[in-house]
């Protein structure tokens, strides 16, 4: 589904965020990106949602070369994915409902369907009773769940999450991971950039470790549960058992 071929990305001409990255991610995979700050995690995600273009190489999404995608096609591509950011990026003068509904509105859904789907997404994310509030009235965890609801409301084939738990406590962060896992179980390919070693260990999913713009390791981590902070409580995933 996703393929990066010799991808490099430079900022300000000579600051390399990614260097010659080659990578394949299959449809329906749940992949974690980790590594120190500045390793290139966010850059990799931004190449996939076309906030940036590669300086060298090709980024393929379902066979489409994103490096050459015309600007007019960018919105169409983004409507097929959901994106979650560390800083939520919500529309703060609109209600929770309107924030989530926006992702459907750009798809041109009829009002009745838009309302039904939005309420369903809010319910899945435990926000139905917050629908009429503006984001400022919510806690950080709730705001992030709004962002997740917006990213998932249209059942995208690809979900990108950039440090979605970075501003959250462990328990709230885990709630966010559960939502992303549920989307993955519904068939979405999910890429999550995270520093959350506890989650990486607990999830047992394919993890790409980046350093200095290069992939340092790629595989499923084992025996990492010892990295969990003492306060972290791991809970069963939505489908039962370990998520």
Partner 1 sequence: MSLAYFAKEALRQSWRQRLLTLVAVSAMTLAALFAGSWALLWRNARHWQDSVGQAAQLSVYLKAGATAPAQAAAQAAAQALSGVASADLVTPEMAAQSLRSDPQIRDALALLGDENPFPAVLKVRLSQADPSSLKSVSVRLRALDNVDEVDAGQGAVESLLKASGAVRTALLGLLGLFSAAALLIVAAVLRLAAWSRRQELGIMRLVGASHGFIRAPFLLEGLLEGLLAGALASAILAGSLAWLGARLSMDLQVDLAAFLPEGVDWSLAAWLSAAAGLLGLAGAGLGLATVTLAYEDEEKG
Exactly one of 13, 63, 108, 223 binds partner 1 (CB under 8 A); that residue is 108
Distance in angstroms (rounded) separating the CA atoms of residues 31 and 207? 6
Q: Does 15 bind partner 1 (CB under 8 A)?
A: no
Site string for partner 1, 179-218 (x = CB under 8 A): ----------------------------------------
Would you give the distance in Å from CA 74 to the centre of its chain? 18
Shortest Cβ distance from residue 226 to partner 1 (Å)? 37
Comparing CB distances to partner 1, the nearer of 72 and 233 is: 72
* Contact in structure between 43 and 23 (CB atoms under 8 Å): no
Backbone φ and ψ of 23, nearest 5°: -160, 145
DSSP assignment of 192-236: EE---HHHHHHH--EEEEEETTEEEEEE---S-GGGS-TT-----
Sort 15 into a burial class: Cβ within 10 Å, 0-12 / 13-18 / 19+. exposed
Number of shown-chain residues binding partner 1 (CB under 8 A) = 26
Residue that has been written with the tokens 């329906």 in this structure: 28
Q: Does 106 bind partner 1 (CB under 8 A)?
A: yes
Exactly one of 102, 115, 134, 206 binds partner 1 (CB under 8 A); that residue is 102
Distance in angstroms (rounded) separating the CA atoms of residues 186 and 182? 6
Comparing CB distances to partner 1, the nearer of 108 and 219 is: 108
Q: Does 125 bind partner 1 (CB under 8 A)?
A: no
Residues between 67 and 96 with contacts to partner 1, criterion CB under 8 A: 71-72, 74-76, 78-79, 83, 89-91, 93
Q: Does 105 bind partner 1 (CB under 8 A)?
A: yes
Residues between 141 and 180 with contacts to partner 1, criterion CB under 8 A: 150
Pairing mode of beta strands 158-162, 2-11? unpaired
Q: Which residue, among 17, 37, 43, 39, has the nearest Cα to 166 in the 3D structure?
A: 37
Comparing CB distances to partner 1, the nearer of 34 and 49 is: 49
Comparing CB distances to partner 1, the nearer of 119 and 224 is: 119
Shortest Cβ distance from residue 195 to partner 1 (Å)? 22
Sort 227 into a burial class: Cβ within 10 Å, 0-12 / 13-18 / 19+. middle
Binding residues for partner 1, per CB under 8 A? 49-54, 71-72, 74-76, 78-79, 83, 89-91, 93, 102-103, 105-108, 111, 150
């Amino acid at each position: 589904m996703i393929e990066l071929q010799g991808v490099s990305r430079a900022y300000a001409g000579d600051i390399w965020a990614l260097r010659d990255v080659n990578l394949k991610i299959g449809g329906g995979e749940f992949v974690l990106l980790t590594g120190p700050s500045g390793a290139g995690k966010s850059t990799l995600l931004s190449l996939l949602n076309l906030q940036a273009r590669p300086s060298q190489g090709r980024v393929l999404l379902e066979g489409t070369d994103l490096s050459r995608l015309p600007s007019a096609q960018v919105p169409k591509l983004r409507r097929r994915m959901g994106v979650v950011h560390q800083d939520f990026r919500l529309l703060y003068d609109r209600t929770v409902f309107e924030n989530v509904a926006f992702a459907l509105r750009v798809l041109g859904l009829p009002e009745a369907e838009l309302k039904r789907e939005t309420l369903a997404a809010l319910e899945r994310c435990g926000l139905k009773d917050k629908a009429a509030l503006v984001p400022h009235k919510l806690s950080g965890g709730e705001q992030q769940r709004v962002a997740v609801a917006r990213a998932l409301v249209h059942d995208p084939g690809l979900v990108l999450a950039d440090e979605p738990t970075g501003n959250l406590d462990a328990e709230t962060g885990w709630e966010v991971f559960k939502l992303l896992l549920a989307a993955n179980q519904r068939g979405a390919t999910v890429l999550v950039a995270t520093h959350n070693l506890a989650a990486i260990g607990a999830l047992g999913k394919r993890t790409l470790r980046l350093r200095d713009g290069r992939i340092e390791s790629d595989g499923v981590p084992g025996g990492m549960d010892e990295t969990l902070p003492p306060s972290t409580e791991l809970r069963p995933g939505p489908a039962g058992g370990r998520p």
